[in-house]
Chain A
Amino acid sequence: MKRRFMLAITMMMAAAMVFAGGSSESGDGTFTPSRDVTWTCTSNPGGGSDIFTQEIKNAITNNGISDANIVIDYVTDGGGEVGRLNVSRTTGVRADHMLLTFNSGDLMPMCLNTDNRVENFTPLAIMAVDKQLLFAGDLSKYQSWQEVLDALAAGERIVIAGSKGDDIETYNALIKELGVTENQLAYITNDATSTAITSLLGGHVDLVLGKPAAAEQYVLAGRMKPILALSNERFPTELFKDAPTLDEFEGYDNVEVPVWRGVAAPKAMSEAAADYWSEVLRQVSETEDWQVNYIQRNGLISQYMDRHEAAEYMAQYQADYLAKIGKDA
């Protein structure tokens, strides 16, 4: 009796070992996912990063690019630093099944606040370039950018809500160009654009600064209206084309802080797996789903870079940013 139990336990242990260590690389050095894939998103659901992640996932599933079951894991603790740190430290077979939504808006605070660097990840791809707009809500006091400028000139105080990371960079560039203080044009940081939109719809802030994807539904329903494109030219899409750029107003230059959106993986991801995912993402970037439903609809610029180009690009971007804030690499 006793012996049989011990035998059973030994077998269970052996099974556990095999299960935990089950390599997913098949004999010829190519990779196929052998378990659920965890995709870490360091922003709250409903925001731009989340929509980007969801759209890729949809494109993968709908077009049968990969059979992997992708589970999106929202880790917003510590402004996202914890999620990024966890991904960078993941090892073993889990590392081959771990992806991270990684944007310029994630890289900047990471370099600013932590010692974590791009070198601790395996960049897989850059997918698109995104830009921001300013929106007024149906309850907002100001319904056009001209009204905002007039109000600022009259000494009124205006409150913008937005997300963290790159949105703050754009906001800073905007107040610098307008020549106002952060007291006249104040900024409330939220975990994601969706939270900022909530406070705009309730009439608690005057404007929202955000990327088109997160705002699209609300513009369509007439709850929000784009009033300024933070870009060098107007957005081409129907929904956003009415928003003027800043240089259409006398005495101002355009403000544009382009945001690249990419995907990274743990440093420990195997070469075979990195090639696999980079290729999956390339196929995604060519699907109609992606081009029409995401890129065109939201006025983004499609720009696929494979993992080698992306690694080089991200490293350069990081070096430039570190030099700008006066930090050593």
Chain B
Amino acid sequence: MKGTSSVKLPTQVIIPVIGFIIGLVYLIIGMGDFGFWNHSTNTPTAGFFPIIIAVGLMILSVLGFIQSFRRKSVEYRLLNWYVPIGFLLFIVGVMIIGTVPAVIIFELLWCKFYEKLSWKSTIIALIFCLILVLPVFTWWLQIDFPVGLIGNLILGY
């Protein structure tokens, strides 16, 4: 199981398609909300520059789309996606139980239960992260990381 499963996706075709859609959205909003040129003052509007770029993007997307058929689909392994998935769960953890507990749980789960590292390595990684979070960022640089819903309840914010 361990991340060996993979899937082929035609992202080389999808990227220009998305590019085209982005260009179209910007073109429509730009023309609709701001227009291209302010004729009374003879100056560009807020839409001027984005509209030029949006049109350029649409043209390039068409060219890129034609080009993309000559290229192979890319193989995506599930393994690589453990990183964003794990990170998403970590973010949820931060919002619920707060940064420090989320860091501890995340490092324990990842190092000990996913990677099956030794306790020594796990603890070193964990201590390193906690040193960054608490003494360096929170106390010295005065960045207040979220304490999460539970932290808010305890601290009565």
Whether A and B touch (Cβ < 8 Å) is answered with yes
Q: A residues near B, CB below 8 A?
A: 2, 5, 9, 12-13, 15-17, 19-21, 35-36, 91-92, 94, 181-183, 186
Question: Is A91 touching B100 in the complex (CB atoms < 8 A)?
Answer: no
User: Quick check: is B49 within 8 A (CB to CB) of the other chain?
Assistant: no
A5 interface neighbour in B123, B139, B151, B154, Cβ under 8 Å: B123
For A97, the closest partner residue in chain B by CB is B142
Closest to A22 in B: B155
Total A-B pairs in contact (CB under 8 Å)? 44
For A94, list chain B residues within 8 Å (CB).
Answer: 144
User: Which residues of B in the span 115-157 have a Cβ within 8 Å of any Cβ on A?
Assistant: 119, 123, 126, 130, 134, 138-139, 142, 144, 147, 151, 154-155, 157
Across the A-B interface, give the 8 residue pairs with the lowest CB-CB distance, nearest first: A21-B155, A92-B157, A183-B41, A16-B100, A91-B157, A13-B100, A5-B123, A16-B134
Size of B's binding interface in residues, CB under 8 A? 21
**Residues of B with C-beta under 8 A to A181:** 40-41
Q: Of B42, B104, B123, B147, which one neighbours A183 at CB under 8 angstroms?
A: B42
Contact A20/B134 with A2-B119, A186-B41 known, Cβ cut-off 8 Å = no
Q: Is the interface of A mostly helix, strand, loop or mixed?
A: helix
B101 at the interface (CB under 8 A from A): yes
- In the bound assembly, the distance between CA atoms of A26 and B100 in angstroms comes to 27
Q: How far does the Cβ of B109 sit from chain A's closest Cβ, in whole Å?
A: 15
- A186–B139 alpha-carbon span in the complex (Å): 50
Known: A2-B119, A9-B130, A182-B41. A17 touches B139 (CB 8 A): no
Cα-based distance from A186 to B134 in the complex (angstroms)? 52
| A34 nearest CB across to chain B (Å) | 12
Task: Select B138's contact among A5, A19, A92, A183, beta carbons within 8 Å.
Answer: A19
Instruction: Name the CB-closest residue of B to A36.
Output: B142
Query: Can you sample 8 A-B contacts with CB below 8 Å?
Result: A9-B126, A13-B104, A17-B147, A17-B155, A19-B139, A21-B155, A92-B155, A183-B40
Name which residue of chain B comes closest to A10, CB basis: B104
Given contacts A19-B138, A94-B144, A183-B42, is CB(A9)–CB(B151) below 8 Å? no
A19→B139 CA distance, assembly (Å): 8
B138: chain A residues within 8 A (beta carbon) = 16, 19-20
Verify A35–B142 contact, CB threshold 8 A. yes
> Residues of B contacting A21 with CB < 8 Å?
147, 154-155
User: Given that A19-B139, A35-B142 are contacting pairs, would A12 and B134 also be in contact in the complex, using a CB cutoff of 8 Å?
Assistant: yes
Residues of A within 8 A of B144 (CB): 20, 92, 94
Q: Are B42 and A12 in contact (CB under 8 A)?
A: no
**Residues of chain B with a CB closer than 8 A to A91's CB:** 157
- Could you say which of B101, B119, B151, B155 has the most chain A C-beta atoms within 10 Å of its C-beta? B155
The docked-state distance in angstroms from the alpha carbon of A19 to that of B154 is 13
